[in-house]
Structure 1
Amino acid sequence: MGALSIGANALTTNLAALQVIGHNIANVNTEGYSRQNVQLETAGYQKFGNGYFGKGVNIATVERSHDAYLTREAQITSAIASADAIRYSRLQQLESAFPLGEGGLGSALNSMLNAWGDVSSSPSDLTARTVVIARAEEFASRLRNTAGQLDSLRSNTYQQVEGAVNVVNQLASDLAKVNQRIIETQGGTHTPNDLFDQRDQLVREINKYVQTSSVAGEGGAINLFVGGSQPLVLGQNAQRLAVGRDSADPSRVQVLFTQAGMSTPIADANLGGGEIAGLVRFMNQDLTVVENQLGRLALASAISLNEQQALGLDLQGNPGTNFFVPPANATAQGANTNTGNAQISTSVSDPTALMASDYDIRFEAGGVNIIRMSDGQSTVVPSLPAVIDGLNFNLDAGAGNVGDRFAVRPFAAVARNIQLAIGSPDRLAAASPVQVVPGVGNSTGLSVESLYAVSNSPNLTDPVTLTFQADGTFTATGLGPGNPPPDNVGPPATYNFSPGVPMELNGWSLTLRGTPTAGDTFTVDAAPASSIAQNSGNAVGVLAMRDRPTFEGIALADGYISLFSELGTQVQGAKFASEFSASIAQGAETARTNVAGVNLDEEAARLLQFQQAYQASAKFLQVAQSTFDSLLQTVGR
């Protein structure tokens, strides 16, 4: 009977091995499946008088090929790759909203500014003035359309975050159920390999959306944590994530961990990897940066043109009115925890000093701390109002208590709401309120290039005479207060002269070309009403704005290049990060599958091996049966 037992055990064992191999082959394309192997052990021995005889083979267990370290590494790198890939994809969509060439904002901005050139050549030409208004309306329209695309992208991204969070919640619920089934098997001596694969695959799927950390739980179950320490899954219990808006800044999205009816915000930095982290980073950082760049372009352009328009005179001789509708002051959003009743807003004091950033305002014991969010630069002032980065931070009402915080986005709504204020071409303030009259006896070596107002000085139209000296310097008589002191003490006190370099005095800018001769004089005073129709000084002033350093040293006309360069840098950085993290994730997954994956060539070899073993076992059982039958026949005689 021993031989029959050995043969029967060998037959069933090899058949089981063939079943496991068939299971592997059947699941070669099943995602998350780990190759299984039959672990064999000897069935022991039996002692006889003439020695110890083996009792055959038994199946010890069926185990899966699995490396916990490689599995975890693949999950983490996959999470990071998912975050980088979704962020790169979103940035590409954002980049498409900012085309170059004739369809771009840069072309519209320069077309608007350059259109003043025809007005400067023919200030009484209503057609040229109408073209200026049309180009300005086109620029404003493109700003609004671009802002609308950004709003749509922000809304879609928020919905995508909500969808990803719902998927995570469902996967977490499924994982809790698998944990429950694993726990129910813990009394057995073997491991439920397919349940473990389901468990690991669910963890892998969750990490595609949000990076987790894991701790082994009861009976093979796994506990998952998000945001560093928030328990998403504990054994057979699953918690939920939710999506909300930042109370201090509704434009920002927040991922919330909910438990027992309480919601805890998860800091963006603690999300780690996963699509949710990539989407949150895009929405809260990348999109915000571009919105601020776009808003600053719109705000600086509108304020600068309004200020220059106000310095000129229209065809009726009236001071210029607003070119664009003045952008509304930005209102600060107070935190829910504030105890004071302060109301804060910002307005523009210098359009050439604006920084494309949001600001965090904090009331502290030592004063008011205003933090520029783009780079974290902090400025502490004793109280409000205060002027920082070309912005007036105004305390409109109430008072702040220590600990109060406010978030303000000075540029967020500007491009979305920009509108042209001027409609009639005769309202363009192309004329300058001042004129320059060369002296009768002047030489021909010096000529006037331009004269226009640059500030609303009370002494703007006061008569001022410039007289050139033999050394090429000049004196100025009739200047009002607030002008720069002479460069040379004298006597007589004189200013240095450089051809083509504007001379700014009494609120006007005069540019002369050529070489002066001693005794040359130029008188600047009020322009007569009769010259308004042919006066284009202020139009020249608008044209000069093109080269005015406006965006951190970059000219107004190149403001769009600054914006696009910033966006291009973000896109290129995201592309590199996406490609690099994808390569790392692919390497980690390859290392995992080299251990856990099914190799059909190996399975074919093993199939042949155990098929032959099965056939040999059957043959051995047949021989043992034949021998036993012969023995029975002999004994039966």
Structure 2
Amino acid sequence: MSSALNIGANALSTNLAALQVIGHNIANANTAGYSRQTVNTQSAGYQQLGGNYFGKGVELGTVSRSHDAYLTREAQLATSVAAADAERLAKLTKLESLFPTGENGLGAAMNDMLNAWADVASAPTNQSARVVVIARADELAARLRDTAGQMDALAYGAQQQVESSVTAVNRLAQDIATINQRIIDTGNSRGEPNDLLDQRDALLSELNQYVQTSTVAADDGSVSVFVAGSQPLVLGRQANALVATRDTTDNSQLRVGFVQGGVTRELPQTALGGQIGGDLEFLSEDLPEMQNLLGRMALALNTEINTQHNLGVDQLGNAGGDFFAPAADAAGLPAASNTGTAQIHSEVSDPTALMASDYRVRFEAAGVSIQRLSDGVSTSFASLPAELDGLSFQLDAGASAVGDSFLVRPYVNVARAMNLAIGSPDSLAAASPVAVTPGTANASGLSIESLYATDPSANLTDPVNITFLADGSFTATGLGPGNPPPDNAGPPASYNYTPGQPIQFNGWSLTLRGSPSPGDSFDIAAAPAGSTQQNAGNAKAVLALRDQATFEGVALADGYTSVLSHLGTQVQGAKFSASFSGQLATSTETARAAVSGVNLDEEAARLLQFQQAYQASAKFLQIAQSTFDTLLQTVGR
């Protein structure tokens, strides 16, 4: 009878334990990261009696959790990728808002400024037209500065977020190490600490929101957590840390390092993942690309207008000065490992050939290599100075050592320093230093469209005569050195003429319209004193800059379109990546939850099952007790 009592008591306690576990499942049905638990029962064995074998009932085996390590790991990895893509998209969306289209865009401001020169070209003595040019230019410079400042603020916010994320990673690493310790302390128990394991998985899932990790399980139940492939963020009960640091070459760039034993090692950005990886990709790639595009637009505009304005003459007869404050040369940032004393910089040599990129200059045994970082293409030179992509790289002072390198960022500071250099309408150099006089016997078939200086040639104001021949070509006399040779040997040697195409000699450009007659002639010489009031040649030259191919074949006036096109491509790519990785993260979490999640309908059915089993066990125990009491009473008589 004692065996029957034991069977009843064990069954009662086992079924009660099952009910407790089911209640625990129901209570945590909406707890994130909770894994459904199940009571595993087993036979309590048997005993031999009178040649027969009688079972000894049931006993509690273990309480296990429904968990698939593979699905859990896949969900964590997908979460990390989705977090990185979503974070980058959020930052790019904010960046996109800084570049509006339409009347509020930089493109409209730039075209308004360039188009304002048309009124000056039409009426060079109109002071209001001159004031409008200056006002439009000042507004454009202000918008460029404001856009650059907002980009700086966006960069600062992203850097602050990286630092905050690093702090969160270190906190989570400490929490995981603490739970590892608690799990290790339960090593002598028969079952597993299911709720501790769930807590650790939840911490690992949260950790992967910030940085992608990999894990290795140990025999004592702990897990080691690695970042960037092989750096041990958590080793059993010991947690290490990440740290946000500044780049040793470019202090504006943020890096994430791994700290162990007092030694910091910089982690590769591409291996981080999570929100930290998304922020760093934005900070090191997306934002610099847009800064370069904006800076290139500002630098080309600054250089081209200044160059042309310097070739003109103002209302007082003085040579034109700078229209915008000249952009500063870009100093090379030396690598921390440099051993030489060299100092270098870059300056603009051809504003129409600029590429929106940073550059890496390396001093090698065979000379100098300059790498365009936007596409990785390297070009070798014997020494500095060297010309590449419209930039001239110059050695300022000191001596280089083999292996020294410099980072050159020609565009990053241009827009934020854009300012107007001219203030008085009288100083607007709208006039041309050269003038053209048609021959008195000319027929009426040719008209003068424009004449202006194109470069500061020493022969700019030398008298030149152009006379048209019967075949439509023309001769040019009085040319200085460096001019193109005649198209036709002659005699007389002559140049071909195409209506509307500029005729360029001695640093000036003359455009004629119509068909010439034999003997038509034009004299080009220095503009007479006092003629600058009515002369608008240089204003027409500035106006012509609108159509000059500047940005890889794109006209100066359409430079903002190139910026928007690149940004739009980035945003669309980021949207696709975020959508795809987000859906993948959702599907992997759904698959994990299908295994580990609590199904309330199933728990309700199991609740009834074990409730009935518990009641039956209690009834059996009651009967066994009653039978045992009756037996005692009978024997006692």
TM-score by length of 2: 0.98
Deviation at 1:495, TM superposition (A): 2.5
1:16 aligns with 2:5: no
Partner of 2:55: 54
CA displacement, residues 173-210 of structure 1 (integer Å, 9 cap, x when unaligned): 11111111111111222111111111111111111101
Deviation at 1:413, TM superposition (A): 0.9
Q: 8-17 or 624-633, which moves further after superposition?
A: 624-633
Partner of 2:353: 353
Partner of 1:301: 301
Partner of 1:75: 76
1:385 aligns with 2:392: no
Partner of 1:225: 226
Q: 565-574 or 514-523, which moves further after superposition?
A: 514-523
Letter of the structure 2 residue corresponding to residue 41 of structure 1? Q
Residues 180-259 of structure 1 correspond to what in structure 2 (within 5 A)?
180-259=181-260
Partner of 1:86: 87
Deviation at 1:475, TM superposition (A): 2.5
Partner of 2:565: 565
In 2, Cα distance between the equivalents of 1:474 and 1:213?
78
Partner of 2:485: 485
In 1, Cα distance between the equivalents of 2:83 and 2:70?
20
Letter of the structure 2 residue corresponding to residue 383 of structure 1? S
Partner of 1:139: 140
Deviation at 1:466, TM superposition (A): 2.4
CA displacement, residues 352-399 of structure 1 (integer Å, 9 cap, x when unaligned): 111111111111112111111111111111111111111111110001
5+ residue gaps, structure 1: none
Partner of 2:628: 628
Partner of 1:546: 546
Please give the secondary structure, in 1, of the residue aligned with 2:630: helix
Contact 1:105–1:143 at 8 Å: present in 2 too? yes
In 2, Cα distance between the equivalents of 1:518 and 1:597?
95
Contact 2:89–2:574 at 8 Å: present in 1 too? yes
In 2, Cα distance between the equivalents of 1:450 and 1:7?
112
Contact 1:459–1:480 at 8 Å: present in 2 too? yes
Q: Percent identity?
A: 63
Q: 496-505 or 387-396, which moves further after superposition?
A: 496-505
Residues 301-340 of structure 1 correspond to what in structure 2 (within 5 A)?
301-340=301-340
Letter of the structure 2 residue corresponding to residue 431 of structure 1? A
In 1, Cα distance between the equivalents of 2:291 and 2:109?
18
Deviation at 1:438, TM superposition (A): 2.2
Partner of 1:275: 275
Deviation at 1:166, TM superposition (A): 0.3
Contact 1:41–1:57 at 8 Å: present in 2 too? yes
In 2, Cα distance between the equivalents of 1:89 and 1:488?
63
In 2, Cα distance between the equivalents of 1:516 and 1:616?
118
Please give the secondary structure, in 2, of the residue aligned with 1:632: helix
Letter of the structure 1 residue corresponding to residue 425 of structure 2? P
Partner of 1:444: 444
Letter of the structure 1 residue corresponding to residue 6 of structure 2? S
Deviation at 1:81, TM superposition (A): 0.4
Deviation at 1:574, TM superposition (A): 0.8
Q: 80-89 or 364-373, which moves further after superposition?
A: 364-373
Partner of 2:614: 614
Please give the secondary structure, in 2, of the residue aligned with 1:357: coil
Partner of 1:153: 154
Residues 502-517 of structure 1 correspond to what in structure 2 (within 5 A)?
502-517=502-517
In 1, Cα distance between the equivalents of 2:471 and 2:29?
92
Q: 509-518 or 91-100, which moves further after superposition?
A: 509-518
Residues 360-439 of structure 1 correspond to what in structure 2 (within 5 A)?
360-439=360-439
In 1, Cα distance between the equivalents of 2:439 and 2:12?
121
Contact 1:178–1:199 at 8 Å: present in 2 too? yes
Contact 2:317–2:530 at 8 Å: present in 1 too? no
1:2 aligns with 2:3: yes
In 2, Cα distance between the equivalents of 1:602 and 1:461?
97
Partner of 1:590: 590
Deviation at 1:139, TM superposition (A): 0.6
Deviation at 1:445, TM superposition (A): 2.3
Residues 524-543 of structure 1 correspond to what in structure 2 (within 5 A)?
524-543=524-543
Please give the secondary structure, in 1, of the residue aligned with 2:522: strand
Letter of the structure 1 residue corresponding to residue 236 of structure 2? G
Deviation at 1:460, TM superposition (A): 1.4
In 2, Cα distance between the equivalents of 1:57 and 1:486?
111
Deviation at 1:636, TM superposition (A): 3.4
Contact 2:387–2:393 at 8 Å: present in 1 too? yes
Deviation at 1:490, TM superposition (A): 3.5
Letter of the structure 1 residue corresponding to residue 496 of structure 2? N
In 1, Cα distance between the equivalents of 2:204 and 2:98?
36
Contact 1:309–1:322 at 8 Å: present in 2 too? yes
In 2, Cα distance between the equivalents of 1:326 and 1:623?
103
Please give the secondary structure, in 1, of the residue aligned with 2:5: helix
5+ residue gaps, structure 2: none
Instruction: Give me the CA root mean square deviation.
Output: 1.3
Contact 1:218–1:235 at 8 Å: present in 2 too? no
In 1, Cα distance between the equivalents of 2:225 and 2:523?
81
Residues 96-115 of structure 1 correspond to what in structure 2 (within 5 A)?
96-115=97-116
Contact 1:370–1:378 at 8 Å: present in 2 too? yes
Letter of the structure 2 residue corresponding to residue 617 of structure 1? S
In 1, Cα distance between the equivalents of 2:33 and 2:432?
76
In 1, Cα distance between the equivalents of 2:16 and 2:595?
24
Letter of the structure 1 residue corresponding to residue 156 of structure 2? S
CA displacement, residues 590-618 of structure 1 (integer Å, 9 cap, x when unaligned): 11111111111111111111111111212
In 2, Cα distance between the equivalents of 1:153 and 1:67?
41
Aligned pair count? Answer: 636
Letter of the structure 1 residue corresponding to residue 527 of structure 2? A
Deviation at 1:492, TM superposition (A): 3.4
Deviation at 1:531, TM superposition (A): 1.8
Contact 1:384–1:395 at 8 Å: present in 2 too? yes
1:284 aligns with 2:284: yes
Please give the secondary structure, in 1, of the residue aligned with 2:406: strand
Deviation at 1:546, TM superposition (A): 0.5
Partner of 1:601: 601
In 2, Cα distance between the equivalents of 1:224 and 1:486?
76
In 1, Cα distance between the equivalents of 2:493 and 2:606?
103
Partner of 2:67: 66
Contact 1:32–1:197 at 8 Å: present in 2 too? yes
In 1, Cα distance between the equivalents of 2:56 and 2:488?
116
Partner of 1:579: 579
Contact 2:64–2:194 at 8 Å: present in 1 too? yes
Contact 1:183–1:218 at 8 Å: present in 2 too? no
Letter of the structure 2 residue corresponding to residue 371 of structure 1? Q
In 2, Cα distance between the equivalents of 1:334 and 1:248?
6
In 2, Cα distance between the equivalents of 1:6 and 1:217?
39
Please give the secondary structure, in 1, of the residue aligned with 2:353: coil
Contact 1:78–1:207 at 8 Å: present in 2 too? yes
Letter of the structure 2 residue corresponding to residue 156 of structure 1? G
Please give the secondary structure, in 1, of the residue aligned with 2:465: strand
1:495 aligns with 2:495: yes
Contact 2:127–2:425 at 8 Å: present in 1 too? yes
Q: 572-581 or 98-107, which moves further after superposition?
A: 98-107
Distance 1:628 1:452, change over 3 A: same
Letter of the structure 1 residue corresponding to residue 452 of structure 2? Y
Deviation at 1:50, TM superposition (A): 4.8
Please give the secondary structure, in 1, of the residue aligned with 2:216: strand
Deviation at 1:446, TM superposition (A): 2.1
Please give the secondary structure, in 1, of the residue aligned with 2:394: strand
Please give the secondary structure, in 2, of the residue aligned with 1:225: strand
Please give the secondary structure, in 2, of the residue aligned with 1:79: helix
In 2, Cα distance between the equivalents of 1:12 and 1:517?
119
In 2, Cα distance between the equivalents of 1:598 and 1:37?
11
CA displacement, residues 64-96 of structure 1 (integer Å, 9 cap, x when unaligned): 111111111111110010011011001111111
Deviation at 1:249, TM superposition (A): 1.1
Contact 1:79–1:208 at 8 Å: present in 2 too? yes
Deviation at 1:635, TM superposition (A): 3.2
